[in-house]
Amino acid sequence: MTSIENIGKYFLMIAEMFRKPTKWSVMKNLIFKDINDLIIGSLGIVAFISFFVGGVITIQTALNISNPLIPKYLVGFATRQSVILEFAPTFTSIIMAGKVGSFITSSIGTMRVTEQIDALEVMGINSLNYLVFPKTVALMFYPFAIAIGMFLGVLGGMAACVFGGYTTLEDYILGIQTDFEGFHMTYSFIKTFVFAFVLATIPSFHGYYMKGGALEVGKASTTAFVWTSVVIILLNYILTDLLLG
């Protein structure tokens, strides 16, 4: 019953977020601040993880191709497909649910605990629009981070190939160009936009409606991470079935 109530409350929150917008001169600064905190601030970890995971995918694929009849360029092909279709959009989003999601929940939750949200409401400000909308807009730039992740994932694979001696640079480049379908990029970015919305709104929901003190802020962050991850994985399945199935 509580879960159904929460789902309803979540959609009401989203509707309320678009009502009575904050003045643009103020909102603009909030959006820039959130782009800096949520996107620019996450580029380092996205780049680091993407580069090394790309390398690991390449090594594992190369080591599992023992049949001499399978062409070596398939290492590059497999790395590209894994990185573009799944790793960059989905698994980076799970990691971001931990980093960005817990940041959003704890910052909004702390504002709830210290009555800063009440202060906004008493002033006649739509606190959901003021707090959640700029984060949602900022995370619409998340696909740029994912695009960088895709590039670095493939680059990491190439570095592993060349420096680890698993295949030649020519084979790897041939592999990443083989049977390239533009729609796979479209599919990947559609997923990324949906995940970005989830990353902004579910942690905000858990922070905004939390009750209690500092301990509950921590608990809300954990709950937000779990639910954001669950929803991302479920949506990943649904979108994949709809778009590629």
Partner 1 sequence: MIVVENLHKSFGDVHVLKGISTTFDKGMTNLIIGASGSGKTVFIKCLLGLFQYDEGTISYDGKVFSELSRNERRNLRSEIGMVFQGGALFDSMTILENVMFPLQMFTKMSNSEMEDRADFVLKRVNLPDAHYKMPSEASGGMQKRVAIARGIVNNPKYLFCDEPNSGLDPNTAIVIDNLIQEITDEYQMVTVINSHDMNSVMEIGEKIVFLKNGNKEWEGSKDTIFQTNNDAVTDFVYSSELFKKVRKMYLDENGN
Minimum distance, C-beta of residue 223 to partner 1, in the bound complex (Å)? 23
186 is an interface residue for partner 1 by CB under 8 A:
no
2 is an interface residue for partner 1 by CB under 8 A:
no
Listed ranges 7-15, 111-119, 148-156, 159-167: which one lies at the site for partner 1 (CB under 8 A): 111-119
CA count, 13 A, side-chain hemisphere, 68? 0
Listed ranges 96-104, 113-121, 148-156, 233-241: which one lies at the site for partner 1 (CB under 8 A): 113-121
Q: Which of 50, 61, 126, 136 binds partner 1 (CB under 8 A)?
A: 126
Q: Which of 114, 177, 186, 222 binds partner 1 (CB under 8 A)?
A: 114
Write out the DSSP string of 100-154.
Answer: IIHHHHHHHHHHHHTTHHHHHHHTT--HHHHHHHHHHHHHTTHHHHHHHHHHHHH
Rg of the Cα atoms in the chain: 21
Minimum distance, C-beta of residue 49 to partner 1, in the bound complex (Å)? 28
- 3-state SS class at 232: helix
180-184 contact pairs (CB < 8 A, 24+): 180/80, 184/81, 184/84, 184/85
Q: Closest CB to partner 1 among 115 and 181?
A: 115
Task: Identify whether the C-beta of residue 72 lies closer than 8 Å to the C-beta of residue 65.
Answer: yes
Burial class (CB in 10 A: 0-12, 13-18, 19+), 4: exposed
Residues 4-43 interacting with partner 1 (rule: CB under 8 A): 19-20, 22-23, 25-26
Which structure tokens are listed for 114? Answer: 């210290």
Listed ranges 51-59, 119-127, 200-208, 211-219: which one lies at the site for partner 1 (CB under 8 A): 119-127
Q: Which of 2, 123, 165, 241 binds partner 1 (CB under 8 A)?
A: 123
211 is an interface residue for partner 1 by CB under 8 A:
no
* Residues binding partner 1 (CB under 8 A): 19-20, 22-23, 25-26, 114-116, 118-119, 121-126
